[in-house]
Chain A
Amino acid sequence: MIRLLLLNLFFFLSCSKLFALIEVDITRGNLDPLPIAVSPLHVDIKSEETKNLKTKELGTKISEIIENNFKNTGLFNPLKKDAFVQKPDIAHLKPRFEDWRLIKAQALVTGKLLVIGGKLKVEFRLWDLAAAQEMTALAFTTTPSNWRRVAHIISDKIYERLTGEEGYFDTRIIYVSETGPKNQRVKKLAIMDQDGENTKYLTLGNELVLTPRFNPTSQMVTYMSYFRNMPRVYLLDIETGTQEIVGNFPGMTFAPRFSPDGKKIIMSFAKDGNSDIYTMNLDNRVVERITEHSSIDTSPSFSPDGKFIAFNSDRSGLQQIYVMRSDGSNVKRITFGKGIYGTPVWSPRGDLIAFTKMHKGKFYIGVMRTDGTGERLLTENYYQEAPSWSPNGRVLVFYRETKAGDKGKGFSAKLWSIDITGYNERRLLTKTDASDPSWSSLLSK
């Protein structure tokens, strides 16, 4: 009997031994920028010189663009090249990981390039220094004049591999370039790379241009222009430069914007003294009325799945943001905070809506969930508006007007960007004053 008892005791105790693995929960980490080393790309000795381009400097220039892109994200900390132990002439070989770990780098970018037969061939590799292994390796071939784009594409690939979300470096920003005094402002359409380089002017400045917006699926832009005091909506193909008039609209017309599939544009215009929201099918030019209310409904923006529309309306008294189905049904007010809300823009990820808020004489750019909860004001100033999302939904570009010149009599409008955490605010350098920015989708998509 005692034996039986002992056996039982042993059995039960051995059962409890099965649960012996220690588990520790790690629920927090740091959000410090990741230290990354970008080694200058090794230029192959067989490389030929090309017109207007010093091939020998190309490796360093490409690495500088990559570094600059990373620095602007606020998520990476590109390490200074002075600290590098390994020289770029052996960058095409396997790195000595201990040398890079010594300078506290966690990731390393190496690569090489060759210019031959009028073609530029660039290879790059991304290394995980803690694991001492390669994370990704890609090669690109293009014309040498495209070297800046290659640097942006490499930045996108590295960003995607390290953060898990799409990059936004191989993109462009269209904006309204402004020159001259406030009462005689010359406004031209201008386009530049997201880092402020390669600025080109798309209109001459004879007519007033407003609110350019990119098609989310292609390099097509819609914008408004006043012709003999009548608002006109245009379509402009950036690649070919061809331009067409979508239509003349009566009274006050506002902010045409593309639907997510690029087949429709949505806008507001005043008919019989009442401003409502309309869509226009770009294939057959049929205009469809979406809202029918005595209040002023403006600034419509589609959700990325095309099922909902966010817009602002003063139907409750003060201007607030509303969301409805794309057919105009089920209108719901989503903002109830103090102040006036406007320019809602749905994030390409679909999770947030960006907006401008006016309260006690100040302007705020903020984000909130699509049901209006979780409002976060990212930046505050005396005049700023028109947020536009980067294609990955992480950064917003907007414009801010400030006083400038002697004794603050003049004024200046500049483009700024801020990420959705609100910690990384930066000015985008433009050649002239700038307003109404719109961010393109990825060019290489």
Chain B
Amino acid sequence: MIKSLFYSITFHTIMIILTILSFPFMLREPVDLPPIVSVELIQISDKTNIPYAPKARKIIEETKKKEERIVSEQAPPAAKEKEKPDRIPLPDEKDEQKKIVKKKQNPEEVKPQIRQSSEFEKKEIIDTNQIAALIDKAKEVEAVKKKDSNKITQSNKKNSFATALSLSEEDALRAQIFGCWSVPLGLPYDQDLLVRVKLQLKKDGTIMKSEILDHERMNKPGQKFYKVLAESALRAVRLCQPLKVPPTGYEKWKDLQLNFNPMEMLKG
């Protein structure tokens, strides 16, 4: 009787400890540290150097003289052999290369999609919205399903288990995209401005696939601004590639989600 009670207590205790360790919500919220501002160190050129104080100049000149002496005492660097090119391409090959380039430069002709329009009536020649809607329709059902699970936004709910990037790595990436993202103006302040872009990256940081997670919102009436905003986010990512990703841990960051939200910036 006592033995079985002892077993029961032991196993229950182990189970409780395991549960505490495994469930993420049991963890404490991470300390909300202010974002780290990356600072680029630039060497100031000689021209912009401020003049030395008169006393300091003497000391500097003396140290310079000493340095010069040390340099002159050193042996001259060994002369390197000139590197030969691996292989000179044959003239035939050169021609082939040129041909390929020529093919590329021939511009593709635009198909005659423009239809007649009447006096001052403007007509959308290609209704990109409709095409996008057709393509998106297939994805829509899936997206709706995903929506609920994807409701974790850029808030503090973001899981600390998933931090495969160090703070400085994450900050470097963030700073890179800040520079590429031209925020469209005319966005309504009272609307949800969060655009979530899911990326699949190659090892060198170039983009294999990019997807707007709430793409069905782009074609909804009254959400024109969202389309412009989502496009600006995609443009930023494309302009920025290759993204500044860590050299290691590819498996962890090959799928990346960027949450673009200009609300803070617009509200000042």
Q: Does the CB pair A24–B107 fall under 8 Å?
A: no
Q: Does the CB pair A138–B187 fall under 8 Å?
A: no
Q: Does the CB pair B107–A96 fall under 8 Å?
A: yes
Task: Determine how close the nearest CB of chain B comes to the CB of A115; give it in whole angstroms.
Answer: 15
Quick one: given A137-B114, A153-B122, are A24 and B185 in contact (CB under 8 Å)? no
Report the interface size for chain A: residues with CB under 8 A from the other chain. 57
A136 vs B123: C-alpha distance in the bound complex, in angstroms?
Answer: 11
B105 CB contacts on chain A under 8 angstroms: 96
Quick one: given A16-B161, A138-B123, are A106 and B113 in contact (CB under 8 Å)? no
Task: Determine how close the nearest CB of chain A comes to the CB of B5; give it in whole angstroms.
Answer: 15
Contact of B120 (CB < 8 Å), options: A12, A13, A31, A444: A444
Quick one: given A13-B22, A23-B162, A138-B124, are A130 and B185 in contact (CB under 8 Å)? no
Q: Report if B30 contacts A (CB, 8 A).
A: no
A7 vs B160: C-alpha distance in the bound complex, in angstroms?
Answer: 25
Q: Report if A227 contacts B (CB, 8 A).
A: no
A444 vs B187: C-alpha distance in the bound complex, in angstroms?
Answer: 23
Q: Report if A286 contacts B (CB, 8 A).
A: no
Q: Binding site of A, secondary structure by majority: helix, strand, loop or mixed? A: mixed
Report the interface size for chain B: residues with CB under 8 A from the other chain. 79
Task: Determine how close the nearest CB of chain A comes to the CB of B217; give it in whole angstroms.
Answer: 14
Q: Report if B91 contacts A (CB, 8 A).
A: no
Q: Does the CB pair B238–A131 fall under 8 Å?
A: yes
Q: Does the CB pair A23–B114 fall under 8 Å?
A: no
Q: B161-178 interface mask toward A, CB cutoff 8 Å, 1 = contact, 0 = none?
A: 111110000100110011
Quick one: given A137-B114, A164-B187, are A128 and B235 in contact (CB under 8 Å)? yes
When C-beta atoms are compared, the residue in chain A nearest to B231 turns out to be A128
When C-beta atoms are compared, the residue in chain A nearest to B150 turns out to be A21
A93 vs B110: C-alpha distance in the bound complex, in angstroms?
Answer: 5
Q: Does the CB pair A163–B186 fall under 8 Å?
A: yes
A75 vs B182: C-alpha distance in the bound complex, in angstroms?
Answer: 10
Q: List CB contacts (< 8 Å) of B16-57 with chain A.
A: 18-19, 21-24
Q: Report if A20 contacts B (CB, 8 A).
A: yes
Contact of A139 (CB < 8 Å), options: B117, B163, B165: B117
A345 vs B173: C-alpha distance in the bound complex, in angstroms?
Answer: 44
Q: Report if A22 contacts B (CB, 8 A).
A: yes
Task: Determine how close the nearest CB of chain B comes to the CB of A141; give it in whole angstroms.
Answer: 6
A95 vs B108: C-alpha distance in the bound complex, in angstroms?
Answer: 8
A27 CB contacts on chain B under 8 angstroms: 154, 261-265
Contact of B125 (CB < 8 Å), options: A21, A29, A139: A139
A137 vs B229: C-alpha distance in the bound complex, in angstroms?
Answer: 20
A9 vs B21: C-alpha distance in the bound complex, in angstroms?
Answer: 10
Contact of B259 (CB < 8 Å), options: A23, A135, A165: A23
B120 CB contacts on chain A under 8 angstroms: 140-142, 146, 444
Q: List CB contacts (< 8 Å) of A9-57 with chain B.
A: 9, 12-13, 15-16, 19-32, 34
Task: Determine how close the nearest CB of chain A comes to the CB of B145; give it in whole angstroms.
Answer: 16
When C-beta atoms are compared, the residue in chain B nearest to A90 turns out to be B107
Q: Does the CB pair A9–B18 fall under 8 Å?
A: yes
Q: Does the CB pair B186–A165 fall under 8 Å?
A: yes
Residues of A within 8 A of B (CB): 1, 5, 8-9, 12-13, 15-16, 19-32, 34, 75, 90, 92-96, 106, 123, 125, 128, 130-131, 134-142, 146, 153, 157, 161-165, 351, 392, 394, 444
Q: Which 3 A-B pairs have the closest CB atoms?
A: A165-B186, A12-B22, A29-B181
